[in-house]
Amino acid sequence: MKNYLRLLCSAIALFAFTQVKAQDFPALDPSPMDVAYFPDKMPYADIRARTFSSPKIKLYYSRPQLKGREMIGKKAAPYGEMWRAGANEANEITFYQDVTFGSTKVKAGTYSLFAIPGEDTWTWVLHTQLDTWGNYALPKSSGKEVARAEGKAVKSDKAIEALSFMFKEVDGGAHLVFGWENTVVEVPISM
């Protein structure tokens, strides 16, 4: 009987310890992080025997889903207000060489990227404040804003469920292409 009681207590303790440890892991984020490169799929270059001297631009962002909601121009991404253009932490864009963002020369480095949505035109903002939760903690008039660029908003012919970014190669550089809901916006980056 004593052995049975010890075995039962040991099993209960082991079960309780296992349950506590299993709860240490956070839940999966419904807005997973993604990355866009220019040139496209840069990390796969070696695998696919494509040769590039080095990446030119990399953008980290979180990709929320529509899930039947209206987002652009509404509470999540209101017109005329700065928005993180995604979910969770602010997007971070790295330029591996000096570029011209819109019409402003920008030094190589990593910047946070925000958007100010508009019905016809969006303004994109580069900022030196990194590791921030969206634009909520950005200091007002801090001098940390680096550049602004405008992009024309066009309607897509089909709904874009997951917020997405990509780069499109153009003469002299690339366009950063944003798409979500029924909106596509391109921003010029010259190199």
Q: Yes or no: say if 86 and 63 are a contact pair by the CB < 8 Å rule.
A: yes
Per-residue confidence (pLDDT) for residue 39, from 0 to 100: 82
Q: Yes or no: say if 38 and 55 are a contact pair by the CB < 8 Å rule.
A: yes
pTM value surpassing 0.85: no
Q: Which residues contact 49 (CB under 8 A, 6 or more apart)?
A: none
Each residue's pLDDT expressed in tens, for the chain with a length of 191 residues: 566 555 555 555 555 544 444 446 666 667 788 888 888 766 655 555 556 568 899 999 999 999 999 999 998 899 999 999 999 889 999 999 999 999 999 999 999 999 999 999 999 999 998 988 877 777 666 678 899 999 999 999 899 999 999 999 999 999 999 999 999 999 999 99
Q: Yes or no: say if 152 and 107 are a contact pair by the CB < 8 Å rule.
A: no
Per-residue confidence (pLDDT) for residue 34, from 0 to 100: 82
Backbone phi, then psi, for 4, in 5-degree steps?
-65, -45
Lateral strand order in the sheet of 57-62: 33-38, 57-62, 91-95, 109-116, 121-127, 145-170, 173-190, 99-101, 104-106
